[in-house]
Structure formats: structure tokens, C-alpha cells
Amino acid sequence: MPIEVTIATVDIAERKVTLPDKCLVCEADLTQPGALTHWEYQDQRRTVSVKDDEIDWDDVLPTSGESFIPLEWRCTLCSHKLHD
């Protein structure tokens, strides 16, 4: 029996940005270890089961993703976003 599921289409536009040496808000030295916080999208592959003609999510654990897409860079100290 066919199973209805939801999927998403993700469009990605990559661009280069220049990060400052110091945070524009708190003036933290962003060249120091741990001074930058990086947010990223990571895909996750999951093996799923079908139970009673539906996807059974109860026993599903994600496995390591294969792509890492950077989304945002912030100052770790004050959380200021470091780019437009």
C-alpha cells in the first residue's frame, strides 16, 4: 500500500563573507580559540520502518550526516552575528 510522506526542497546559495578580527559589539578578539560560534545545517540519514502502513519513528536514531552547510557565524561572548 502506498505511504504518504512529506519532503522539503532546500535551495542553497553560497557566498563569501569577511569576518572581523574583533567583535563590533563587545570587542572580543575573534582570533582566540573558541571566540567564534558557527551554526550549520547538517543532513542526517535515518533508516525507518513501516508499521501499519505508516512510518514508525519510535525506534529511529539519526546517523552522522554527510554534508555540513555553514549558515551563520557569531561572537561566542555576546552572540553578535558577524556578517549580513
**Domain segments of the chain: what residues?**
1-84
Residue showing cell 514508525: 56
Closest CA to 40 of 74, 63, 11, 7: 74
Q: What's the predicted TM-score (pTM) here?
A: 0.67
E strand map for the chain: 36-42, 49-51, 54-56, 68-75
| pLDDT for res 5 | 85
Q: For the chain, report the end-to-end CA distance as a whole number of angstroms.
A: 48
| pLDDT for res 60 | 63
| pLDDT for res 56 | 77
pLDDT along the chain (84 residues), means of 10: 85 92 97 94 77 74 69 96 94
| pLDDT for res 68 | 79
| pLDDT for res 41 | 84
CA-to-CA distance for 58 and 84, rounded, in angstroms?
40
